[in-house]
Structure 1
Amino acid sequence: MNQIALLNKNSFTEKDLLLLASKGCEDSFTNLFHLYKDRLYTFVLRLTNSEEQTLDLIQDIFMKLWMNRSVLATVDNLGSYIFRSARNNIINSFKRAMNEASILSELQAPNNLHKDVEINFEYKILESKFKNVVKKLPPQQRLVYTLSRDQGLKHEEIAQQLHISTSTVKNHMVEALKNIRMFLKNELDIAEFY
């Protein structure tokens, strides 16, 4: 009989679901998603205080899990695996935010007449413009850039995940960074930024 037709989350252990999902069974992966999504949402929201960021992060975690589903067969405790991944992504996100804030404060250093509120407002505008530039990248460039910068994956890991060569990943990153630099140079009059 068909595995998918037999799939019932009440009759399978988590390990069974992981093994089936690792072989491409979407129903078992969906069951795993439903087992963890609410707890993961609560955990991430408590740390980020942002519903949008929380939803994006959860989507990224499960998308990455599905794209690398072959490793699910080796996972003993999916909860630990998912929560560790979420924690690492949140830490990386905070590090990026601190780095961006540092860069912005350096840009503001010569003109200390601005009030904190104005600096924060300008930072939000710059951050919004930057995100829009990333959104406007061609889909493959945007995906490669996001996997590299947002998820901290190495070029080899991205290549494996997307089933493309490492040189293709490097080419996409070069083009993405070139487009971002062009934006920064044109919009902000910054020659070298990223």
Structure 2
Amino acid sequence: MEIKEHTQELFLFAEMKQGKEYAFDFFFNYYYPGLCVYAQNMFSLPEEETKNMVQDVFLKFWNDRRKIVITTSVRSYLFVSVKNRSLDYLKKKKRQGTKVEFEGKDFSEEAIDTYVLSELETLFKESLDKLPARCREVFELSRFEGLKNRDIAKQLDISEKTVENQMTKALKILKLELKDYLPLLILFETFHFLK
């Protein structure tokens, strides 16, 4: 995490500790999707159970805000909280006789980042597959190959206006498909070409 981003996060956390709801809303909107993806896939938890668990983590985060001390980052704190909550859930299931597998998994911050990024890339590819063929072709030539509109128009034998229309359509569809994950996409800055 960059120093500037870390400083902003600490400022928002200080604001939240004073009861400023906008700061809590920021953390919730920014991290909720990724925490759900992480818990659901890393621990093979049911979707509904995952959502409830992550919401409970945020509820506790808000209720205990005055006594929470964060030494790393809010992001790390939330991911570790969800990890611990998930492991508690799995241990409870194991005691009840349900077979669970979670031993041997890497829960370091780097592993969490890699995992969440991998999930986001999969979601992005699935969303890209939903674009109409010409729309996808124009998007990929523009964003992946870095071609200008006039070069795309020439290569595909279409007008520049058609290229602009197809790009607008592609971005609109992708942003709609990925709307729940946009804060995470921005966080990882991997999908800057959606701008």
TM-score range for the pair, normalised by the shorter chain length: 0.3 to 0.5
Higher relative contact order (CA 8 A, sep 6+): 2
